[in-house]
Amino acid sequence: MSSTNWSGIVERKNAEIYRLPVGWDSREVVAEKLNCSPERVSEILRHAVKAGEVEKKTFPVWDKANKRVLQVVAFRPAAPKSGVANPPSKTKK
């Protein structure tokens, strides 16, 4: 009889697949940086999110301790706009 650890294989694969993308910080990490509780992060960053300076998104992330996928709220600075904000003036000299 085979002694394959199937649950270990599944857990490793889930940890690989279900994680935050590079560049995103979980609400808990942002709370540490802002010296506030995780519950207050969305409130504190509300205006920056609304202005498009910060992105907020929910990702499925593997919780190793509880062995299940959780929905994790994460934040990252928004990418700069690709257009030129103030194009140079075309005045004749």
pTM for the complete prediction?
Answer: 0.76
| Lowest-confidence region among 2-11, 29-38, 68-77, 83-92 | 83-92
Average pLDDT, the chain: 89
Q: Given this model, what pLDDT does residue 93 score?
A: 47
Q: Is 30 exposed, middle or buried (0-12, 13-18, 19+ CB in 10 A)?
A: buried
Res 22 pLDDT > 50: yes
H helix runs in the chain, sequence order: 6-17, 27-34, 41-50
Angle at 63 between CA 60 and CA 68, to 5 degrees: 75
Tens digit of pLDDT for each residue in 39-67?
A: 999 999 999 999 999 999 999 999 999 99
Alpha carbon separation from 2 to 6, 9, 12, 13, 52 (Å, rounded): 11, 14, 19, 20, 54
**Domains and their CATH numbers in the chain:** 23-77 (1.10.10)
